[in-house]
Chains A and B, each alone.
Chain A
Amino acid sequence: MMKNRNRIQWGFLFFFLPVILWLFLLIVLPHLELLRLSFTKTRGGGLSLDNYMAFFKEPIYWLTYVRTAFYSILVTALVMLIALPVSFYITKIARVKATGFLMVLILVPFWVSELIRVYGWMILLRESGVLNQFLIAIGLFSKPVEMLYNDITMVMGLVYTSMLFMVVPIIGVMDDLDDALIEAAYDLGASKISIWRTIIIPHCASGMVSGGIIVFMLVLGSYLTPNLMGGKNSLWFTEQIYNQIIIYFNWNQGAAFGFLLLILSSLIIWIVLKLTRQNLKEVVK
């Protein structure tokens, strides 16, 4: 009996070892090192809070931090607002045959890398881009306008890049929603808005929160899209980390920023879970 149990544990360990190694070597170990770095003085070593104090002393840092948090929440909300009707159309209105095709349409852009997609936007929107030329050709604009490098373009780009990660979990839960429930609500006198409020959204809450968490984390930690589409006018906190580590070669300061970002995402997710009374275990499932 004892022997048998031992063998099972060895077998379990054998297959689990890569996972443990991956988690430990690539995630836990670097984070421990970064944590140590973040509490170490840039010059001369020794334990200090200097790196964290620098964040609060320099307005550009914490302003970028707050901006990043605000825009991440805004993008998540916008993505949710668009994803709900899209998912509803795919699961409830479109014919069964069309459903697969529509899913492929949503997936296709994700077959090319984020970089290529962002360049696509840039080709469309830049001063000498397709949209400008078209608008000048039909006489709407007299001279080209720079549409890149502002907050609106950046938010649009982020919404576009993260749409799939909201649509898929929402479709998953919306598929389970019995059409009869919607009809019953309609029959009992509910308007379309109150059907959404009382039936569809409560049913989809777990999918919305899990999609929301994924999108929020992706957006908060994204670098390419804010950098290329937002440019210098729309700073993102990840760019501050990049600058510290790559440009100023200040690993200690970069590590401190990294941890501040981690705290921010954990805090906001915790608040959202509390507010929506969802359980992380349920949502992840």
Chain B
Amino acid sequence: MRIALSVQNLTKRFGDFTAVDQVSFDVEDGKFFSILGPSGCGKTTLLRMIAGFYKPDHGTLLFDGQNMEGVAPNKRPVNMVFQNLALFPMMNVEENIAFGLRRRGEKGSAVTKKVQEVLERVGLPGSGKKQVNQLSGGQKQRIAIARCLVLDPTVLLLDEPLGALDAKLREHMKVELKTLQSQVGTTFVYITHDQSEAMVMSDTVAVMNNGKFEQIGTPQDLYHNPKSSFVAQFVGNNNKLRVTLRRDAHGHLLARYTNGLDFTLVGAFEAPKGDEEYDLFIRPESMLINPDETLAHVNRLPVTVSSILFDGGNSRLLVTPENTDDELVVALPQTRQYDSIKAKDHITIGWDISKAICYKRRDWKLYDEE
């Protein structure tokens, strides 16, 4: 497979602050690659370096094997869909799309033909004469993408283009963008802080934090086998239990929760040193409600139900383990089996010992206090 974009050891510093720190990755031609990270993690800086707006302090950038060092943004075979779309308000839709073609010196009927083709491709045929402010949010989106696609770039960069849309339309555009990408076959590099966007659309997702890539993998891989505590917390929902590790008389690893209960762990974990603190992660849907007494290899935890969050198929229970102030989220399947559970009930939750993952404690700021 051809590598459309190759990034090697890319670094960017602003004064003392390292925004992007030794980032390397390859994107295969025709793939949908997402960079997922909280705001301020350096993903926009990385994208702007790829587009050419920032000069990297270190590292190399290759498009189709060609080094892009010293190549200005207007000479790079890459185009960008901006966060606010940046459609030109002084031009109509057709002129917006033809802008890049005309800058290349293309003229006349060839331009008109290409513009019409790309408008059809994004599902807006015949809207070439419309003014930009006559378009709806979703239509602007498509025009912004069409404006780049018409130039047939090696890589299309997208900087959180769905951020400005309302929730319903965003859900719709996610699917549409994915479909469009697979139809046109252009390589997409998409940055977002929304893990659902990244998971739904991407072939490969890179999780970024503090200027570094924590993990690169398929969405399934990131979800089921997170390589770090950050990925475990950031990708999908997760419950975090503060534990300390120790070995019992048989050499098995046990995790002691703050309320004094011991949980069995499986898998290879680094040997605990002293009383270092660890975090135990369990997905809400891995939690069993009132697990059968006879089930083996299950850790059990008595809890009090603090509230029931009914949301159709996405319903959850909020529970507080006894003798703690923690709040855990448990998936509540709507099979009517658990209809009897009410707030303030005392129940037991459990999980298969293979479903829990343990990492050394690291505190991350997952969201900006906006």
Contacts and interface: CB of A to CB of B under 8 A. Distances in A.
Contact of A194 (B88, B103, B151): B103
Contact of B90 (A190, A191, A199): A199
Interface in A165-212: 178, 180-181, 183-191, 194, 198-199, 202-203
A189 B104 contact: yes
B73 A198 contact: no
Tell which of A178, A186, A203 has the most Cβ of chain B within 10 Å: A186
A66 B51 CA distance: 52
B84 A178 contact: yes
Interface string A5-49: 000000000000000000000000000000000000000000000
Nearest to B100: A188
Counting chain A residues whose Cβ lies within 8 A of the other chain, the interface size class is 10 to 19
A183 B82 contact: yes
10 contacts: A178-B84, A180-B84, A181-B88, A183-B73, A183-B86, A187-B80, A188-B151, A189-B103, A189-B151, A190-B74
A95 to B, nearest CB: 14
A198 B103 CA distance: 10
A73 B99 CA distance: 32
Nearest to A203: B90
A185 B88 CA distance: 9
B51 A198 contact: no
A178 B74 CA distance: 18
Contacts of A183: 53, 73, 80, 82, 86
Interface residues of B, number: 23
A64 to B, nearest CB: 40
Contact of B103 (A188, A202, A203): A188
Interface in B54-80: 72-75, 79-80
A204 to B, nearest CB: 10
Contacts of B52: 187
Interface of A: 178, 180-181, 183-191, 194, 198-199, 202-203
Given A194-B103, A198-B99, A199-B90, A186 B84 contact: no
Given A183-B82, A189-B100, A199 B88 contact: yes
B82 A188 contact: no
B74 A189 contact: yes
B5 interface: no
Given A180-B82, A191-B103, A186 B74 contact: yes
B148 interface: yes
A221 B103 CA distance: 43
Interface of A is mostly: helix
Contacts of B83: 180
B84 A188 contact: no
Contacts, number: 57
Tell which of A184, A190, A198, A199 has the most Cβ of chain B within 10 Å: A184
B240 interface: no
A185 B51 contact: no
Given A183-B53, A184-B80, A190 B86 contact: no
A185 B84 contact: no
A247 to B, nearest CB: 51
B316 interface: no
A199 B82 CA distance: 16
A20 B89 CA distance: 40
Nearest to B144: A184
Nearest to A194: B103
Given A199-B90, A202-B90, A187 B73 contact: yes
B99 A185 contact: yes
A188 B148 contact: yes
Contacts of B147: 188
B103 A181 contact: no
Nearest to B84: A180
Contacts of A185: 88, 99
A141 B117 CA distance: 67
A214 to B, nearest CB: 23
B86 A186 contact: no
Contacts of B51: 187
A121 B282 CA distance: 79
Nearest to A181: B86
A187 B73 CA distance: 5
A200 to B, nearest CB: 10
Nearest to A180: B86
A188 B79 contact: yes
Q: Which 9 A-B pairs have the closest CB atoms?
A: A184-B86, A188-B100, A180-B86, A189-B103, A202-B90, A180-B82, A189-B74, A190-B103, A187-B80
A199 B73 CA distance: 17
A71 to B, nearest CB: 32
Contacts of A186: 53, 72-74
A169 to B, nearest CB: 18
A81 to B, nearest CB: 21
Contacts of A198: 88, 99
Tell which of B75, B88, B89 has the most Cβ of chain A within 10 Å: B88
Interface in B223-245: none
Given A187-B51, A187-B79, 12 more contacts: A183-B53, A183-B82, A183-B86, A184-B80, A187-B53, A187-B74, A188-B99, A188-B148, A189-B104, A190-B99, A191-B103, A199-B88
B119 to A, nearest CB: 17
Contacts of B89: 203
Nearest to B147: A188
A181 B86 CA distance: 5
